[in-house]
Amino acid sequence: MNSILFIRGGALGDFIVTLPALRLVRERWPEAHIELLGYPRHAALGVKRYYLDAVRDVNTGRLAGFFVPNGKLDPELTDYFGDFDLVVSYFYDPDQIFQSNLKRCNVPNLLTWPPQVALAPAARHFCEPLRELGLTTDDFSSRLYLNPADVAFAEKFLVAEDASRPWVAIHPGSGSESKNWPIERWIELVRQRAGEGKENYVLVCGEADDERVGKLLAAWPPGEKPLVARQLPLEHLAAVLARCRVLIGHDSGVTHLAAAVGCRCVALFGPTDPATWAPQGNHVRVVRKAEYIAAISVADVLEALAE
């Protein structure tokens, strides 16, 4: 295989749990050109960082014809798909319309697989179609590789009055309110933990996290305030998290990101199944009491941190 295309939409965590599948292909064909049709912001974590050589934005109207039975296909995209030796698609395609139109592009090898996760952990699900190529693994952990520019950014960003204290990252948000620990618990946690003055803190703030991060900042114990990593490019955020001793977060893409760069994680779970969605690895400690995340107490989280 000289050229391989992965087609993958979804959120940040969806991209990260697909990395083991990308790793299988990269290990098998180390010299191949591997490209992603997906979201450039997510793919930046893999482009020129072992997994991917290039990314093409999936948000283009030129793809519209591929979702219509026997649709009129964009000639440039028809040539684009046909130039790859292998195309692996995880698009939602229940009626196989996209698959049928891809076949019209004369793709030599086409693998399609539903994005709805049916195997645990989630990374296993996305590795499954590669069995047809003889590619299998028992290692479903996701790993990311930083370049020198990423590392240099983190060194400049993480500046504290006492550089000898370890960094602790907190991400109090997620993509769903039902997965968020009550903000009152977060406030009590930082009052107990940050009030000791033994650690430096960085708050991760995504697009939907401003309100929760604002409340946490307003209630922060007197003294040195935490740094706020607000909507950083993901490769820069990954480098910041790689320098932290631990991240405390929810079932979110940021928790997956932290685990993928080797940061220890305390992951708070409620309605989602950690057997499927928790990052893989001994450096991840899942805290779950029930389907309602509010069942987790501050003492539960402090115990996990102590472990």
Tokens 């139109």: give the residue: 101
Strand order of the β-sheet with 109-112 is 54-57, 33-38, 3-7, 86-89, 109-112
Residue with tokens 């699900």: 125
Question: pLDDT class for 96, splitting at 50, 70, 90?
Answer: very high
Q: Which residue has the tokens 């292909």?
A: 25
Percent of the chain surpassing pLDDT 70:
100
Q: Note the pLDDT tens digit of each residue in 128-169.
A: 999 999 999 999 999 999 999 999 999 999 998 788 899 999
- For each of the domains in the chain, give its residue range(s) and CATH number, in order of start: 3-133 (3.40.50.2000), 148-306 (3.40.50.2000)
pLDDT digit string, tens, across residues 197-212: 899 999 999 888 999 9
Q: How many CA atoms lie within 13 A of 92 on its CB side?
A: 4
Q: Strand locations in 16-106, DSSP E?
A: 33-38, 54-57, 86-89
Cα separation of 162 and 165, whole Å? Answer: 6
Q: What is the mean pLDDT of residues 111-121?
A: 96
Predicted local confidence at residue 55, as pLDDT:
98
pLDDT tens profile 215-256: 999 999 988 889 999 999 999 999 999 999 999 999 999 999
Q: What is the pTM (predicted TM-score) of this model?
A: 0.96
What's the CA gap between 241 and 227, in Å, rounded? 12
* Residue 263: pLDDT over 80: yes
- Residues 163, 155 contacting (CB under 8 angstroms): no
